[in-house]
Structure 1
Amino acid sequence: MRSNGDLAGIPTHEFHLPAPGGGRLWAERSGTGTGSPVVLLHGAGMDSRLWDAIVPELARHHDVIRYDARGLGRSTPPDRMFCDVEDLGAVLDHFGLHTAALVGLSMGGETALDFVLAHPERVSALGLVGASVSGHAWPQDAQPSAYAAARREQDAAALAELELSIWASMGRTAPGGELIETMVEQNAHLRISGEQHLAYFPDRVAEARLGEITAPTLVVHGDRDHPEIGVIAERLVASIPGARGRLIADADHYLPLRTPGPLTELLLEHLR
């Protein structure tokens, strides 16, 4: 553990915790220790800097933990197969949390959904932000083929360009643009290597089991996100009992950096 000083006046500490099967996960804990716990999960090709604009206010009310997924950001690259759901469980265990609220974007939302279905007793609430979901059939168009080609050829520059053009369509001059560009470019090579070791479970089909989820759920996406994220959001709201859906204006897939204020308001209302 290493102290990071204060984050906007909030006590913050940095950790390098053991990952299942070897390696280390970088994590950060922010808050006074009195609020209910919230774990933030970022998307593919990103890292926990995605939440930079959200953490300060969220940590004034909650015990906030964010971590870099295996092989991204400051977490160590994997050298064997790993499971993202097991990694999330290890984070909760390390901090002594039997239950916590999970807020996940994109891949992080998918991990949160898989985790709550595997361990419903450990999740107090869900915040799904521009979330994907296992078992969803994505349209077969040119985009998946381009991603597959970039991975196959280990072309980090092409992968970063795809990520930015498709998912950060509002561009560099929009709020958070410089950080988004930096984060994506720094993680592109790590992503190619790390995804080769991410275990695939064909029986994970959260989309077909959404009706089993009992945790209070908020589903949020931006009006300028990829159209299929809107399709998934509608399905999540329709299928998860009691789920509430919210659309935020002027935000693409990187909603926590594009419109942190409106998103923070929604999360604080949901998690109180």
Structure 2
Amino acid sequence: MRSHGNSDGLATHEVHVPAPGGGRLWAERSGAGTPVVLLHGAGMDSRLWDAVVPELARHHDVIRYDARGLGRSTPPDRMFCDVEDLGAVLDYFGFHAAALVGLSMGGETALDFALAHPERVSALGLVGTSVSGHDWPPDAQSSAYAAARRERDAAALAELELSVWASMGRTAPGGELIERMVTHNAHLRLVSEQQVEHFPDRDAQARLDDIAAPTLVIHGDRDHPEIGVIAERLVAGIPGARGRLIADADHYLPLRTPRPLTELLLAHLP
């Protein structure tokens, strides 16, 4: 474990969590209070939360980790389950239950975990999230993604990620970090995405009324249009869920508009 202080004077601790079946998940713990776990999206890593963690950690015990094979976590050498990895993170830090805040793929993992282990989730913050069971409409972008994966073209994959999901560009807030993060993870995700287990019967969209945790659904007004469609379905389907739209933010909302996002999360999290 490596400990250090951040610019706000809060102690942070870096650890490597043993992953189910082998390997390590890089994780960082900051602050004190009720526990919150932050989950990033596909092709990203926990740097996504750099601008959110300092204020969130003033009020909560915050864990962020790099998903299997991304960022500083070790690449998988066998099939793995994202829901099991999240459970391993909670177990490592001794959390029976925690609030889960996930973006995109991270939000999908949080929803699937909440359905599998409702007693372990105190609240959900779903940011620009995807959801298992959702049928994405076919388009030129999805075809290009499939081609880049098939040809194992990391450069094309990174270019697509930046043009489709970081559409506000490099000069917008967080742009340089987003570009570095996406470029760094492009080749890593080609491996990790082949090893993650897919469960055809995993369908959170069909079970939204089973979600028991207080839920806040947030997305940016400049995100992919289908993210807005998913957000509407989540708010309509999850009992008591509330939806919020943040202006001037694409899919990388925690780096584009960290202050309004953090304010919404602090008002929602227990």
TM-score by length of 2: 0.99
Q: Which residue of 2 aligns with 1:186?
A: 184
2:2 is aligned with what amino acid? R
Could you tell me whether the CA contact under 8 Å between 1:100 and 1:125 is conserved in 2? yes
Across the aligned residues of Structure 1 and Structure 2, the Cα RMSD in angstroms comes to 0.6
Does 2:12 align with 1:12?
yes
Identity, % of aligned positions = 85
Q: Which residue of 2 aligns with 1:23?
A: 23
1:135 is aligned with what amino acid? G
Take 2:27 and 2:213, find their aligned partners in 1: how far apart are those partners? 24
Does 2:62 align with 1:53?
no
Q: Which residue of 1 aligns with 2:34?
A: 36
Residue in structure 2 matching 1:197, options 195, 198, 221: 195
Q: Deviations over 1:13-67 (max 9, x none)?
A: 0001100000000000000x3x100000000000000000000000000000000
Q: Which residue of 2 aligns with 1:216?
A: 214
Aligned residues: 270
Deviation at 1:7, TM superposition (A): 4.8
Q: Structure 2, unaligned stretches of length 5 or more? A: none
1:38 is aligned with what amino acid? V
Q: Deviations over 1:106-127 (max 9, x none)?
A: 0000000000000000000000
* Corresponding residue SS for 1:253: coil
Deviating above 4 A after TM superposition, structure 1's stretches of 4 or more consecutive aligned residues are none
Does 2:241 align with 1:246?
no
Note the 1:104-183 alignment, pairs <5 A: 104-183=102-181
Q: Which residue of 2 aligns with 1:259?
A: 257
Take 1:233 and 1:63, find their aligned partners in 2: how far apart are those partners? 27
Take 1:73 and 1:8, find their aligned partners in 2: how far apart are those partners? 24
Q: Deviations over 1:129-149 (max 9, x none)?
A: 000000000001111111111
1:12 is aligned with what amino acid? T
Take 2:7 and 2:78, find their aligned partners in 1: how far apart are those partners? 35
Take 2:223 and 2:142, find their aligned partners in 1: how far apart are those partners? 17
Q: Structure 1, unaligned stretches of length 5 or more? A: none
TM-score by length of 1: 0.98
Could you tell me whether the CA contact under 8 Å between 1:17 and 1:24 is conserved in 2? yes
Take 1:47 and 1:148, find their aligned partners in 2: how far apart are those partners? 21
